[in-house]
Amino acid sequence: MNTRSLRLAMWSGPRNISTAMMRSWGNRADTFVSDEPLYAHYLAHTRKPHPGADEIIARYETDWRQVVAQLTGPIPGGKTIWFQKHMTHHLLPHLELDWIDRLTNCFLIRDPREISRRQTWRTPGCGSKSASSSGCEPPLEKRRRCWIRATCCATHAASCPNSAPRSAWS
């Protein structure tokens, strides 16, 4: 038995290439794949209206501690690689994040200017209309700050800026 293993956590935001990455990894014989394992917990805790939310909550584990125990436990199916597709917004504030250090973490980060114009932005004066239909979009600095915070949340970095935006796109 091979004792070397890899738990690869791919952290993403909406409208990225995370699903394509997951499918690529899923084609490998040595890899087990998980698609948004914290999604059921996120839906159960936030009660946000998502398509199929009730079915997802009923089918998948909603206790984040149990999900974490699975993600950091033995790799299913005797595989040596576990590709985990995560969404940064599923890391709700009450979740402890020390388990993330046991994973190899990668981050899919897009230039906010390249995100689909259909992405919904909830900003004062915009309501819940999409940016493309309302002509209303948050300033670039606000979008940058949002993405930086999401990335910092995923890494739980002590140096995470919570007020002043810093960006690779400046």
Strand partners, 10: 85, 106
Assign residue 122 a region: left if phi > 0, alpha if psi is -120 to 50, beta otherwise? beta
Looking at the structure, tell me whether residues 18 and 65 fall in a common domain.
Answer: yes
Please report whether residue 166 resides in a domain.
Answer: no
What average pLDDT does range 142-161 have in this prediction? 41
Looking at the structure, tell me whether residues 43 and 98 fall in a common domain.
Answer: yes
Both tokens of 137, joined, read 């979009």
User: What pLDDT was estimated at residue 109?
Assistant: 81
Looking at the structure, tell me whether residues 118 and 65 fall in a common domain.
Answer: no
Q: List the alpha helices (DSSP H) in 3-130.
A: 18-26, 39-46, 53-59, 64-72
Burial zone of 149 (CB within 10 Å; 0-12 exposed, 13-18 middle, 19+ buried): middle
Give the predicted TM-score (pTM) of the model.
0.65
Q: In the predicted model, what is the mean pLDDT of the chain?
A: 75
Looking at the structure, tell me whether residues 102 and 57 fall in a common domain.
Answer: yes
User: What pLDDT was estimated at residue 7?
Assistant: 96
Structural domain containing residue 56: 1-108
Q: What's the pLDDT tens digit per position in 23-37?
A: 889 999 999 999 999
Looking at the structure, tell me whether residues 48 and 87 fall in a common domain.
Answer: yes
Looking at the structure, tell me whether residues 84 and 28 fall in a common domain.
Answer: yes
